[in-house]
Amino acid sequence: MLNYIFRRLLIALPSLLGISVVLFTVLALAPGDPFEELATNPNVPAEVRMMLRQQFGLDDPVWQRYLRWLTSMLRGDWGFSFQSRVNVDQLILQRLPTTIVVIGLSQVLAILIALPVGVLAAVKPYSWFDRIASTIAFIGFSLPTFFTGIVFILFFSIYLGWFPFVYRSDISSTGWQFFWDHFKQSIMPISVLGLFQAASMMRYVRSAVLDVIRLDYVTTARSKGLTERTVITKHVVRNALIPVVTLVALQMPAVFGGAIVTEQIFRVPGIGSLLIDAILRNDTPVIMAVTFVLSCLVIFFNLLADVIYGWLDPRISYG
Amino acid sequence: MADVIADPDSAGAQRVSGGGMLGPGPEPQLGKVVASISPWQEAWRRFKRHRLAYWSLWVLGIMVLAVLLGPLVYKVGINDVDFQSRLAGPSLKHPMGTDDLGRDILARVLYGGRISLAVGMAAMLMAITVGVLIGAVAGMARGWVDAVLMWVTDLFLSLPQLPLLLLLIFLFREPLKQAFGLELGIFILIVTVIGGFRWMPVARLVRAQFFSLREKEFVEAARALGATTPRQVVRHILPNSLGPVIVAATIDVAAAIIAESTLSFLGLGFPPDIPTWGRILYDGRDYMDLAVHWAMFPGLAIFLTVLTINFIGDGLRDALDPRRVL
Amino acid sequence: MPLLDIRGLKTHFKTDDGWLHAVDGVDIAIEAGQTVSVVGESGCGKSVTAKTVMKLIDMPPGKIVAGQVLWQGRDLVPLGPDEMQKIRAKEIAIIFQEPMTSLNPVFTIGEQIAESVRLHEGLSKKAALDRAVEMLQLVNIPTPQRRVNDYPHQFSGGMRQRVMIAIALACNPKLVIADEPTTALDVTIQAQILELLQSLKDRFGMAVMLITHAMGVVAEVAQRVVVMYAGKVVEEATVGDLFARPLHPYTQGLIHSIPRLDTAAIHKVRLEAIPGTVPKLIEPAEGCRFAGRCKYVTPACRTATPPLLEVSPGHKVACILHPAAP
């Protein structure tokens, strides 16, 4: 198993390098050369400009500039944000946990809904439960998150007045009240993301279970006299989870995209909204660093999915 | 007694029940007469059974017609300012109400529809073209060409889409505007960028199909008859791999429409004066409590379009992927 | 009283084109400790019969339309899932055809044997695992202590089939249904598996319903033979009688189509094949179903389906040429 993890790690590294090359190429190719631009940007103080020229080595050949950029990225030396006058790594570390928590909890919510509903729908395909669940799922993933987000705000914040729709990270309450306040303000972004994910996940689970349920070994399990319930929960689900896990991991890049949108709507101070702000304000170091961090996160989640897949499927690890 | 219709695909010698190369003597056994129909008719029959997909086809058709022909019939301008009727709710005069400048929202939604649909179709075509090309080359060439192409595909799949989308638009907006003019430049940028992130699943699909079809007997037969590789591909393999590609294409249109509206919503899509659905929503979101219709109608338009396309895609999957017979 | 008495069983399947009469009036009786072989070509309904006994058919689209399955006098057809669960594996066990896909890939084989034992005999986890090791020993799997913790993919096809046998016998059932247990295996392994089944039968004395389409296997192992064709039983006899005096034209064709290594060297005889193919069983018409391929067919054969009649003690045939014994 360790062998397998090691092998996956080895594959992940070239991907990371590949992504960094793509990122760098995009930035270098962009006409108007952002490096050049920020050097002449009046917001940038002179010392910073000097440092940047040095750091980016604007007159060096491209591959040298790339290597320098890559090493400083990997060292954690992400530069200095123009707008916030703060080191970029500080800025990111401040906001990263919020994003991770929101994404993490939304995925948990999605799984909690999608797994049972998907399995039940697949066990009795085309029944009324399946039809209703599938239709709701279709509606769910056809509603763009920004639309659901503002509908939620309209309904729960403005109409019902239950939840605040502006996120505040400086909540002063303590103890249970602290958690309750945090819950009230994060439940909406978490739900918007989570329900959207649950919709497509439910279809995946249903499809995976439908594929597994007609396989021979399920008939063998039934022939042993196991209750249908045991057959499904023990034999079918365990196998159906394997492709579902893979799909969930492959969806990760899209989930981050969704998080960016919800952070905008609910004004959650995560790295998604940081990215948007930075783009709208031409804050290049922040843009580059955030994109790099997001790419690393995607690779990390792919690796995690590979590991879980190896754990779930003995054919991989005991190959 | 009625003769039994033979399957047109077979050499014609076989009957539906019994019989075959019997020579003189016994007549074929008879059972229920099962008529044969072409694969396309079969697919259409299966599609129709998916009721939601079938109705979605009609609804989407109506919407497309409305968007294409509407502006010819409904002559209200998209920029006609009318301060008298600011933020007015739906009425006979303004079926979808007005925004804060008194502009008619129905007209703007109809106009935006054209753009959204155009972007959706164009991005889908791009994704499909690139995907089929790469998948076909990888599937036919195999070996190291395949390995390289697959590594590139996996790389693109690992890229965080929305951040890069935003980044690319941010960086290339100006130069494209200058090269192709405002609207066309942004259109090209958005289509390329959205399509450029959706070709990977198609490439994988096509490659998988090619791998399996390449070794099938009918392709070998073509090879034996002297068909060159391109001919094998175009005439034999490609038509048979189209099923999943068509399904993927349908979903791609929906995804592209959502992507474009998301970009507009984040302020990074088309310029502010072009009323795409995402943009109208963006403009209207601060007025939710005063004039909910402003954001609702474009939102519903996006929702309905994407929903119908998704249902149709599901119906197509049932029609073209017959492995699940229930 | 026979251990298993299938009377007039009809299992039909609903398809788009009508009802498929997979099993259409089948009578099979098995006494305790007896080996009865059910033979016939692919599609004649043998597997469906076996699965119907265990109620393992998907009930839609399948349906038991008529008949009884008497297990020790008790009809299984109306029983609900809870009661069937008590009978499966404990009283009647089944071995399937495809060892490569019949085992769950994510559980160890020890676990797959043990879960049956835990369920029916209430043993603890440890005791059940010990029983699993015993069973592996019984089916001649070397180093069972170690192998019990291995996964199915770590076993060859022949060994997996042994594991299936171990699972089937784990709770000491009275009847084992073996559905083409050797078809998917190499010839040398086939012999081993059959020997194993035979020795286990000698040891435990269970009855065996051996389903196969290989007549050579039948000759080795069975005491009685039931020949099925197109969903019906066409002949039934002791194994000696069947091979010495096959009465039904289909049986004759089957026996004559066995390649004979011993005689082939002496006289060069052409291998006889039965011309034609099995009829489609969708709402079949009246008349003998073999009529389309029969050498001796007469017009009377097509008007009424010949019933299964006893023409000499212990020997039944469904053919118009062989009237019942007076």
Contact call for A224 and C167, based on CB within 8 A: yes
Average pLDDT, chain B: 78
- Looking at CA atoms only, how far is residue C54 from chain A in angstroms? 7
Chain B residue with the nearest C-alpha to that of C58: B326
**Long-range contacts of residues C73-76, Cβ cutoff 8 Å, at least 24 apart:** C73/C1
Torsion angle of the four alpha carbons B43, B45, B51, B52, in this order, in degrees rounded to the nearest 10: 20
Check C106 against A318: CB less than 8 A apart.
no
Mean pLDDT of B162-167: 82
Q: Which partners does chain A have (≥3 C-beta pairs < 8 Å)?
A: B, C
- When scoring A215, A220, A244, A316 by the number of chain C Cβ atoms within 10 A, the one with the most, hence best to mutate, is A220
Q: What is the pLDDT of residues B216-231, one digit of tens each?
A: 777 777 777 777 777 7
- Does residue A56 surpass a pLDDT of 60? no
Identify the residue whose tokens are 């049932």. Answer: B318
Chain B hits for A290, CB-CB cut-off 8 Å, are: 163
Looking at residue B17, its pLDDT comes to 31
* From A34-48, A158-172, B36-50, C19-33, the region with the lowest mean pLDDT: A34-48
Contact B84/B93 with Cβ under 8 angstroms? no
**Residue C227 three-state SS:** strand
Residue range A168-196: average pLDDT? 80
The whole-number pLDDT of residue A31 equals 56
C neighbour chains, 3+ CB pairs within 8 Å:
A, B
Backbone angles phi, psi at B144, to 5 degrees: -75, -30
Is the Cα dihedral B171, B175, B178, B181 positive or negative? negative
Identify the segments of chain C with pLDDT beneath 70: 263-265, 269, 325-326
Q: Which chain C residue is nearest to residue B45, measuring alpha carbons?
A: C16
- Cβ distance B29 to C289 under 8 Å? yes
pLDDT mean over B190-195: 87
Q: What is the pLDDT of residue C132?
A: 94
With beta carbons under 8 A apart, name residues in chain A contacting C14: none
pLDDT tens track for B230-263: 776 677 777 777 778 888 888 889 989 998 888 8
Average pLDDT over residues A305-317: 82
Number of neighbouring beta carbons within 10 Å of residue A255: 21
Confidence band for B18, pLDDT divided at 50, 70 and 90: very low
Q: Which residues of A touch B163 (CB under 8 A)?
A: 256-257, 260, 275, 290-291, 294
CB C245 within 8 A of CB C252: no
Question: Residue C81 burial by CB count (10 A; 0-12/13-18/19+): exposed, middle or buried?
Answer: exposed
* Whole-number percent of chain A with pLDDT over 90: 23
The predicted-structure confidence for B62-120, as pLDDT tens digits, reads as follows 999 988 888 787 777 777 787 777 777 777 777 878 888 878 888 888 888 998 899 99
Tens-digit pLDDT profile for residues A245-259: 888 887 888 888 888
Cβ contacts from A onto C, under 8 A? 73
pLDDT at A267 over 90: no
The two three-digit tokens of residue B236, written as one number: 């034999």
pTM: 0.81
Tell me the C-alpha distance between A312 and A310, whole Å. 6
Average pLDDT over residues A98-113: 91
Tokens of B120: 């959706």
Extract the tokens encoding C87: 């009978």
Q: Is B171 on the interface with C (CB under 8 A)?
A: no
A21 or B37, which is more confident: A21
- Mutant choice from B171, B173, B287 vs A, greatest count of A C-beta within 10 A: B171
User: What are the contacts of B40-48 at 24+ separation with CB within 8 A?
Assistant: B42/B322, B43/B319, B43/B320, B44/B319, B46/B318, B46/B319, B46/B322, B47/B315, B47/B316, B47/B318, B47/B319
Q: Which residues of C touch A224 (CB under 8 A)?
A: 88-89, 115-116, 119, 167
Q: Among A61-70, A221-230, C8-17, C154-163, where is mean pLDDT lowest?
A: A61-70
Name which of C106, C107, C116 is nearest A224 (Cβ-Cβ). C116
Q: B29, C275: Cβ pair inside 8 Å? A: no
Taking the C-alpha atoms of residue A129 and residue A117, their distance in angstroms, rounded to an integer, is 9
pLDDT computed for residue A192 by the predictor: 92
B18 and C17 within 8 Å at the Cβ level: the answer is no
